[in-house]
Amino acid sequence: MPPKTMVKPDYPRIRVAPPGPKARGIIAQDREWSSPSYIKAYPLAMAGGKGAMVEDVDGNRYIDFMAGIAVSSTGYNHPKVVSAVVEAAGRFLHICGTDFYYDGMSRLCERLGKLAPGKEKSRVFLTNSGAEAVEGAVKLARYHTRKPHLISFQGAFHGRTYAAISLTASKVKYRAGFGPLLPEVTHLPYDNPYRGGDAVRAAKEAFESRLPAKDVAAVFMEPVLGEGGYVIPDSKFVRFWREFCDEHGALLVFDEIQSGVGRTGKWWACEHHGVEPDILLSAKGLGSGMPIGAIVAKEDVMTWPRGTHGSTFGGNPVACAAALATLDVVESEGLANARLMGDRLLQGLRKLQDRHACIGDVRGRGLMIGVEFVKDRTTKEPDPQLVEDLEQRAFRKGLLLLTAGKSAIRIAPPLVLTGYDVDTGLSILDECLTELKKRRPL
């Protein structure tokens, strides 16, 4: 066969400095009418996308290293996902899975139950979002164990509903002014190999001095810290908590809302640690952007009886179709590509680290990669201003980034991104860092 001629992609391309005139119109209307609590990282007004390319309303095109916060796992309009959504929408939009049956819901429950780590049978409850999955898991853990106390970790992010913000400890603004929050929550240190500290010893001290281990219903852990900075803990730390739960009759809940569904090159990030949870939470990338989440629990843990928990929209038939198609695409192309492109990104980022002293640490699994920026490599003092400037500058050059933690960039592109996307994104990053070193104005 003759070799295929490669047509060079026509992105990134900046036709008009963003925000262009059409984007400015949308932004002005949004600012007038939408809740002031929205963040709006930078003035991107989206018009369309394909794979890991995003186009704005003024015709600018960007390489996407953030996937709408780790959501657009199969890219922006994967034909298999789109046709599954269209087909399901053409049949019926809703019937309420809490009360009635349909084949998309039962198939998705079976599929997720079988994908859950471990040999034991699992059962699945479908939600609309990550926070709803966290909320349900808190209820299930207390219901099943009949114990009150919950443990989560400093730097953790579990969402924005009451149980979820009570477990969250990544930024004070998520909690300030919203109290009282859920009682009986303790935040303990998360293991951070780059920054050091002994998180296991801190936990042991807490159990010796103030926290009765027998009262703990559940330990909520992100197997890779997401919003808190894309930190990969040592597997010993994760194993410590598995052993703690086994010893004290608590449940280990892995929040894989950001790290799951192939993002790390395995179905679930916990597989890298070789540790199984009692309850696994999924959302974000599960529906490629359609709102769907899941509580996947061992059968002997999901003991709440009929009528005790439900959701009007959770497991919506169109969202279930998107999730089933997403799982197919992740299985056939996403997992392998996440490993391949993840390695390419890590290698490229480590080369950038050799050239730019502001990069303190590069860490990642598959396409969940954190790049931590510091003022000084010896003191490891975070440099949040640099990260903020980098995010803004990269956007104006056609690369979409998002920050995480105090001073990291989280790289979580669609799992289908290409070698071209990786290499071009890295060269924009390089250019930005070189300019920022000289502090050239935008």
Nearer to ligand PLP, 11 or 220 (CB): 220
Nearer to ligand PLP, 18 or 159 (CB): 159
Q: Sign of the C-alpha dihedral, residues 9, 327, 72, 95?
A: positive
Residues in the chain: 442
| Least Å from the CB of residue 127 to ligand PLP | 9
Nearer to ligand PLP, 297 or 374 (CB): 297
State the distance between the two ends of the chain, measured CA to CA, in whole angstroms: 47
Which tokens in the block code for residue 277?
């949870």
Q: With contact defined as beta carbons under 8 Å apart, do 250 and 218 qualify? A: yes
| Least Å from the CB of residue 246 to ligand PLP | 24
Nearer to ligand PLP, 140 or 386 (CB): 140
| Least Å from the CB of residue 323 to ligand PLP | 14
422 conformational bin, left if phi > 0, alpha if psi -120 to 50, beta if neither: alpha
Cα(259)–Cα(158) distance, integer angstroms = 12
Nearer to ligand PLP, 158 or 242 (CB): 158
C-alpha 9: how far from its chain's center? 28
Q: Sign of the C-alpha dihedral, residues 381, 382, 384, 390?
A: positive
Nearest to 277 by CA among 269, 266, 286, 289: 269
Binding site for ligand PLP (CB under 6 A): 69, 129-131, 134, 157-159, 222, 226-227, 255, 257-258, 283
* Residue 410, strand partner residues: 370, 402
| Least Å from the CB of residue 212 to ligand PLP | 27
Nearer to ligand PLP, 165 or 386 (CB): 165
Q: What is the DSSP string of 76-119?
A: SS-HHHHHHHHHHHHH-S---TTTS--HHHHHHHHHHHHHSSSS
Contacts of 80 (CB under 8 A, 6+ apart): 74, 325, 328, 329
Peptide bond into 384 cis (omega under 30): no
Nearer to ligand PLP, 69 or 202 (CB): 69
| Least Å from the CB of residue 402 to ligand PLP | 11
| Least Å from the CB of residue 128 to ligand PLP | 8
The kind and range of the H/E element at 163 are helix 162-167
Q: With contact defined as beta carbons under 8 Å apart, do 115 and 280 qualify? A: no
| Least Å from the CB of residue 132 to ligand PLP | 7
Nearer to ligand PLP, 11 or 153 (CB): 153
| Least Å from the CB of residue 336 to ligand PLP | 24
Q: Which residue is nearest to ligand PLP (CB)?
A: 130
Cα(142)–Cα(159) distance, integer angstroms = 19
Q: Within 10 Å of residue 33's Cβ, how many Cβ atoms?
A: 7
220 conformational bin, left if phi > 0, alpha if psi -120 to 50, beta if neither: beta
| Least Å from the CB of residue 16 to ligand PLP | 31
* Residue 293, strand partner residues: 127
Nearer to ligand PLP, 66 or 134 (CB): 134
| Least Å from the CB of residue 154 to ligand PLP | 14
Nearer to ligand PLP, 174 or 207 (CB): 174
Nearer to ligand PLP, 134 or 341 (CB): 134
| Least Å from the CB of residue 400 to ligand PLP | 16
